[in-house]
Amino acid sequence: MSFPEIQKDLKLRRKALWNRVDEIDARCGNSSTIRSDLPEPVKEIGRQAREALERDPSSALALYEEAASLGDPHAMVAAGWMYEYAIGTERNSDKAYDYYHQAMGLGSWQAVIYYARQMDRLGHRDICISMLEDAVEVDHLGAYFWLAWFRYKYDPTRRTAASLRPLLDHAIGEGHPGAKWLLARLLVRGKYGFTRIGEGIRLIWDLNLDLRNEVDLKLRPQPGSGGSASGS
């Protein structure tokens, strides 16, 4: 494998990892429960937005905003995310903030996670930590990972790393790949003692194999594809 191919492979694995993290944030965010009472036409607009996201982000945003105006909390979070990261539009932190707040007002814990991450980017550390602690209180799986992530980001010491173990162990026990990756990094860096560096290396190896299998599965030609993943 050439160096460019190795770089591409590593990039795909990182993308797979963070896609899983995002999926957990969404799955455990109770938006689907809140959305269950929405009229079917509103849900359909959200489905159309998701389908359009990759091929036409601007159209997807318009659909998300339409669904958000009709009370869809998932669409509110999605629209906020697109404004925050300038996807299909110019960056607008104020609009992202407004959409996250609307979704939180409807009880969306997924919105709490996104809002906490926005507060970190804006430098409001205390708000970020406080919001994530609230989400942990209601047992939101993604919040365990993010709370550990930001606590260590703000104080990267061995004492902090030791205090994170209950959060990370719980998240890993529930299958959170981001928590496994973070624990592996801390182990490799000797935050739990130099005798445990090998344990971190093994965790990274296992996680990389898992992610590689996922990447290979997505790239594998599908039946009827004509021998390529794209069908060309």
DSSP string, 24-93: HHHHTSSHHHHHTTS-HHHHHHHHHHHHHTTT-HHHHHHHHHHHHHTT-HHHHHHHHHHHHTTSSS---H
Number of H helices, E strands in the chain: 12, 0
Domain locations along the chain: 1-28+141-220, 30-139
DSSP annotation of 225 reads S
Report the CATH fold assignment for 30-139. Answer: 1.25.40
Give the Cα separation of 204 and 66 in Å (integer). 42
Residue type, 1: M
The pTM assigned to this predicted structure is 0.84
Q: What is the pLDDT along the chain (232 residues), one digit of tens a residue?
A: 676 776 787 788 888 899 899 888 887 766 667 777 899 999 999 999 999 999 999 999 999 999 999 999 999 999 999 999 999 999 999 999 999 999 999 989 999 999 999 999 999 999 999 999 999 999 999 999 999 999 999 999 999 999 999 999 999 999 999 999 999 999 999 999 999 999 999 999 999 888 887 766 554 443 343 433 333 2
